[in-house]
Amino acid sequence: MPRTFCIPERYSSDLLGYLKQRRGELDPRKKDKSPTVLPLGELTLKFARHFGFCFGVENAIEIAYRAVSENPGKRIFLLSEMIHNPHVNDDLRSRGVEFLFTTYGEECIPLEEVTANDVVIIPAFGTTREMFQKLEEKGVDIVRYNTTCPFVEKVWKRGAQLGAKGFAIIIHGKARHEETRATFSHISKNAPSLIIADTEEAHWLSRFIRGQETLSAFHEKFSGRFSESFVPERDLLRLGVVNQTTMLASETRDISRILRDALLERFGESSIQEHFSDTRDTLCYATSENQEATQALIQSGGDVSLVVGGYNSSNTSHLVELCEEHFPSYFVKGPEDLLSVDTIRHLSLDRWELSESSPWFPEPSSYRPVEVVITSGASCPDALVQAVVQRLLELRKIPFQRFVEGVERSLQQLERVHDSGVPSVPSPFLTQIGGE
């Protein structure tokens, strides 16, 4: 039975929680990636099969709020943002939690001010070995409120195992992201390590492996992104690839294939296992599930998409990238970004700046409803997704009760066609929520 966490009720949505619960009961092995479709008259909402808080995020939130409740009167610090969601981080600030560093490592409060009497929460992304050492030297308890995601730690351990076998590690990630910095720090202790951003850089490395790029060009291109122990002409011949855990899983697979093909060409099939290690087991299950569910959501069709999450959330930005290849897509952090029936505020990924688009919502036609596809990042509370839906319905003058009824009808339809044999369960919401 999946572990449950104690997180503040304000982050939950009873309605979306019920939707997820029933879909989980109907499909316990998570084989069905199809979206949940809610026809609401002139509007049809399509929700990804998987969206919102993952295991690691719920674990981190539970620990962080426990730290606040267990330490009244004490100074409580977070190394950096708990997770990449402004609503969660702002709520922690309102409860007296202070942040020592920004997402990108800039100092907010001098580390010298931290004492052994203070509480320091390690964020879900983890932190570097160097930071762990500094805190330990101050006498800070770094174990009690360490919220590092277990799947991040799994990547660190796998890197150590591969390093012990003589493999170098390619880290697919964003070099400035705190999780990537932490992963690089931990893995490079045990294995020569290099951070690359995408398949373009993987193709460059494949040319180096084939002898088509120079050593000086390597140092220029990857300056600051490889460990002191990394010797390109040696270490690019025995590789494993790991994911930052929030990058596109499909791109990590492509990077692995590109590098493996180059090594295969150089050393042949009979020796490939000595030169390339299969590291698919380091892909975060939650990231993979959310991305696969978003792909299925896209394949079901739509007219416009709303992706909800913190603007600096890596995993959310990749969901936006997937969606915007197929239809107009808007990266919003909450209901406040739906400014009016005509205007929406959103993060433009190509320019990395806030933009306002008007008009943004397709005009309903006489022959079919407008289809809005909806998903959210792993650090986004379900309550925010529901608030965005409520704001959209308000702008389109659609009663929220119709949404409640749409959830019930959709689940009943799934129950009728599903082969799991799970009995139909009456919805607790048609009577409890009413016309809110």
In this predicted model, what pLDDT tens digit does every residue of 141-177 receive, in sequence order? 999 999 999 999 999 999 999 999 999 999 999 898 8
Q: Which fold has domain 9-54+286-432?
A: Cobalt-precorrin-4 Transmethylase; domain 1 (3.40.1010)
The pLDDT, as a whole number, for residue 169 is 96
CA distance 101 to 198: 27
Beta strands in 173-287 (DSSP E): 193-196, 239-243, 276-277
Helix axes 129-137, 178-188, angle to 10 degrees: 90
Q: Are 370 and 303 in contact (CB under 8 A)?
A: yes
- Residue labelled with tokens 């390590």: 193
Active-site residue, 179 included: yes
Q: Which residues pair with 196 in a beta bridge?
A: 172
The per-residue pLDDT for range 354-370, each reduced to its tens digit, is 999 999 999 877 678 99
Share of the chain above pLDDT 90, in %: 70
DSSP string over 64-96: HHHHHHH-TTS-EEESS-SSS-HHHHHHHHHTT
Q: Which fold has domain 150-283?
A: Cobalt-precorrin-4 Transmethylase; domain 1 (3.40.1010)
pLDDT confidence bin for 434, thresholds 50/70/90: very low
Least confident of 24-33, 246-255, 391-400, 411-420: 411-420
Rg, the chain, Cα only: 23
How much is the mean pLDDT over the chain?
90
Residues 178, 179, 201, 251: which is the catalytic one?
Answer: 179
Domain boundary assignment for the chain: 9-54+286-432, 55-137, 150-283
Amino acid at 229: S
The pLDDT, as a whole number, for residue 6 is 87
CA distance 139 to 366: 68
DSSP code at position 434: T
CA neighbours closer than 13 Å in the CB half-sphere of residue 100: 20
CA distance 241 to 327: 32
Collect all residues with Cβ–Cβ distance below 8 Å to 16 and sequence separation of at least 6.
Answer: 47, 52, 382, 385, 386
Q: Please say if the pLDDT value at position 97 is more than 50.
A: yes
Q: Are 344 and 360 in contact (CB under 8 A)?
A: yes
CA distance 383 to 12: 5
Handedness of CA 263, 265, 271, 277 (dihedral sign): positive
Q: Which residues pair with 345 in a beta bridge?
A: 356
Mean pLDDT of 330-337: 96
CATH number of 55-137: 3.40.50.11270
Mean pLDDT of 79-94: 87
The pLDDT, as a whole number, for residue 86 is 85
The pLDDT, as a whole number, for residue 412 is 85
* Max Cα distance, the chain (Å): 70
Tokens of 266: 């150089």
Least confident of 16-20, 73-77, 303-307, 406-410: 406-410
**Greater model confidence, 411 or 197:** 197
Mean pLDDT of 180-196: 95
pLDDT confidence bin for 7, thresholds 50/70/90: confident
Amino acid at 436: E
Tokens of 403: 């949404």
Q: Do 9-54+286-432 and 55-137 come out as alike in CATH topology?
A: no
Q: Please say if the pLDDT value at position 419 is more than 80.
A: no
DSSP code at position 284: -
Mean pLDDT of 401-430: 71
**Greater model confidence, 83 or 37:** 37
The per-residue pLDDT for range 298-308, each reduced to its tens digit, is 999 999 999 99
Q: Are 88 and 120 in contact (CB under 8 A)?
A: no
CA distance 431 to 416: 22
- Residue labelled with tokens 């104690």: 6
Nearest to residue 191, comparing CAs of 277, 78, 300? 277
Handedness of CA 96, 97, 101, 107 (dihedral sign): positive
User: How much of the chain is helix, strand and coil, in % rounded to 5?
Assistant: 45, 15, 40
Nearest to residue 295, comparing CAs of 251, 260, 357? 251
Q: Please say if the pLDDT value at position 309 is more than 60.
A: yes
Least confident of 57-66, 239-248, 334-343: 239-248
pLDDT confidence bin for 334, thresholds 50/70/90: very high
CA distance 96 to 261: 52
The model's pTM: 0.87
The pLDDT, as a whole number, for residue 435 is 36
Phi, psi for residue 101 in degrees, rounded to 5: -135, 155
CA distance 277 to 405: 50
